[in-house]
A and B are shown apart, each in its own frame.
Chain A
């Protein structure tokens, strides 16, 4: 059994130590948010926060997580009580297929927790590891800008 803390709750899971965190979150803990996209750290669909920094859960073996704090989108809110980013994504209708969105929200959460006044260029650079194939990028950016404002900050225009 391996112990880890997910969304503030201590969990004990029966899984091989080399099992990537993603499979534990999805299959052992029943969390839908983190998605399998590539298993290679190239697309960001699996993004969660580990000690408040974004991490590719598809690459991270659970053996490396003892004593570390894992956060997933389920820890940010629920459909009835959405977190600031989820609420902003709903307000901007910032999804098409939506498969990438939980990863987007987690990466944006990490950014806004550390800096809720990023520039537009910083925002785009920060989100660069996460892919969206539907082309919802403009809305995702609008949603993060809206959430930044809701969290007391705001995304600053970059000079082009």
Chain B
């Protein structure tokens, strides 16, 4: 899959300088034009995205990465559809700082919006150029040209391949934003094209950065204390350096790594070095509840929204609630890994980072190389779900490789290093106050959210763990809020409901006791959990059905259709109410109020003695704009639901004064097969002609809220603190 055979790994190593010079093609200033769709705006030249060689081979470039979300196949599908070829005939190059446009980070459900729309439009442009060229060559009108499977057909049996045609014009031209899409023939967009990455993944093929092998490769382990904020006491390096198989112990300031030809030797050396013990030099972790700490910390107050409206009548009913979420972990199944090669003063890093370009910049600063001497190439790793250890391990690999020029170094973290050092999803507190008018409508709304930062991704050496370990250390990055409309802690804090007299404030808490950064959906998981729980609480106060109550406050027609579809497919109106231990819940959001719409209904059964939740049935509806792959969307939403149920039901990072105590899967349990829902049904609403909206993060918030609402319905008590554990359910049932 990644093509990194031993030969290509070594062959690629010579490409750094070559690409540094040819990479300037897309650095030219764009001319004035209407806003082209997606990242065509940033890279308006067609050859940044699509190239056709004289043999007709089509290469498509994207700065976004395959993370297991199916993006590779979806982008091939988009390009193939517009160019009228089979997806298999397209080579797609993803996220390589030597070859692809810089599309920032693959995150925020933006890949289809930014890269998908860009490739769609670029492909339409290329198709138009091919058609024009064929018409000119055949001396016919463009209406007489048919493109199919890499050939252009004209009147009287004339035909020419794309390669012949493309040789006659340049693709280094600006995209026209208004080129129409193909309007005739069978469409590939909207079909379930099988994912091209799956065969290798289910047959033991080479599919991951972990699978890279090369001649002379050294295995490396980085040596650290048990978690963020700790460090090892002075280590017995001399003894370890003499252990069997140890080729090198790399030290630079506090940074330390062990290198060995055999991986097990590196692991054993790591264990020996860790045996000296560790200490915490940072200030102790708080003994009080982390949510209380964040709620009471000094904060920068950032207004989120302020919708006018008449003041609520003095006798209107007021509902208040406070919701909390603990720190959550990404918890990739495979610990982070990277392969680095330092050769002739150039550094190449094969990485599963979500942002090869910002990583490249950070690494260049870290190892003090000019930017053009560093290349980062994305290769899939285990799923990341946000900013996990991917960037940090890439830095660890780079520093280790610098000590052994010419030898590829494969650096992999151990399980407890991923658990102990990955940046977490912030603990959060949301306080809501709603005012209910006599007509059962909301007449006032107030949202306050407290959170640490949701973006600590590296943009400099100080954003990498190793950056703090070198001597002298790099200054740490200052945590920053993410401005709306994307938002960080305030993502999805602005309700999609039409509410008068409504306002919200993000209380951004800069000082974070635990290392935090982007976890899939950022603050949306918590804000949607809170808002959608609160909508049920308000509906209860208004004596209204939860779905009806949402609909009377919902004007956006696509939102209404998603809510109604989920409710109808679930049989919401026909549900049997009041059965002991059974409950139904509903949750809805439009991701960031700009992305995909997702609604879902859930039925749960609570076992009263154990407090165990059994999720019997989930029915979801999703509108992600024009559908490229219906099954791809279903796969993402199913995954979002299961992952969010795990977060919401059972996950919380634990710690004592000195370190994180969630150091493995026994100390940080996640969902296992016996606890996943009995069934999940996802209904995909297609919107042909509408922009792609991205799907990966649409379901987490609604799933969390639907669970909380179903549990409240089942036990008659509202649980407002995540996780909704069996202990909390038992306590609620006893009260």
A-side residues, CB < 8 A to B, are 15-16, 18-20, 23, 26-27, 30-33, 35-40, 42-43, 45, 72-74, 76-79, 82, 85-86, 89-90, 93-102, 105, 121, 123-125, 127-139, 141, 160
B-side residues, CB < 8 A to A, are 67-70, 192, 194-195, 197-208, 210-211, 213, 219, 244, 262-265, 267, 330-335, 380-383, 385, 412, 414-415, 616, 631, 635-636, 638-643, 646, 664-666, 670-674, 676-680
Option from B262, B412, B635, B674 in Cβ contact (under 8 Å) with A124: B674
Inter-chain contact A37/B68, CB cutoff 8 Å:
no
Interchain nearest-CB distance for B5 vs A (Å)? 11
Beyond known contacts A18-B264, A33-B204, A100-B333: 18 more, CB 8 A cutoff: A16-B265, A20-B264, A32-B205, A40-B664, A42-B666, A73-B203, A76-B203, A86-B202, A95-B198, A98-B198, A98-B202, A102-B204, A127-B673, A131-B665, A133-B383, A135-B671, A137-B642, A141-B673
Which residues of B sit under 8 angstroms from A26, Cβ to Cβ?
263
Cα distance, A31 to B213, chains bound together (Å): 11
Which residues of B sit under 8 angstroms from A39, Cβ to Cβ?
267, 414-415
Cα distance, A79 to B202, chains bound together (Å): 8
Which residues of A sit under 8 angstroms from B200, Cβ to Cβ?
79
Which residues of A sit under 8 angstroms from B635, Cβ to Cβ?
93, 96, 136, 139
Interchain nearest-CB distance for A138 vs B (Å)? 5
Q: What is the chain A residue whose CB lies nearest that of B244?
A: A16
Consensus secondary structure, chain A interface? loop
| A99/B199 contact (C-beta < 8 A), A128-B672, A133-B383, A134-B643 known | no
Which residues of A sit under 8 angstroms from B202, Cβ to Cβ?
73, 82, 85-86, 89-90, 94-95, 98, 101-102, 105
Interchain nearest-CB distance for A98 vs B (Å)? 3
| A36/B412 contact (C-beta < 8 A), A136-B635, A160-B678 known | yes
Which residues of B sit under 8 angstroms from A97, Cβ to Cβ?
67-68, 333, 380-383
Q: What is the chain B residue whose CB lies nearest that of A62?
A: B264
Inter-chain contact B666/A90, CB cutoff 8 Å:
no
Which residues of B sit under 8 angstroms from A123, Cβ to Cβ?
673
Inter-chain contact A131/B672, CB cutoff 8 Å:
yes
Cα distance, A123 to B264, chains bound together (Å): 34
Cα distance, A39 to B415, chains bound together (Å): 7
| A95/B664 contact (C-beta < 8 A), A128-B672, A139-B635 known | no
Nearest first, the 10 closest Cβ-Cβ pairs linking A and B are: A97-B68, A135-B642, A98-B201, A33-B204, A97-B383, A135-B639, A99-B382, A42-B665, A38-B415, A96-B68
| A73/B335 contact (C-beta < 8 A), A134-B68, A135-B640, A138-B680 known | no
Cα distance, A96 to B213, chains bound together (Å): 23
Inter-chain contact A82/B199, CB cutoff 8 Å:
yes
Cα distance, A114 to B636, chains bound together (Å): 33
Cα distance, A93 to B195, chains bound together (Å): 7
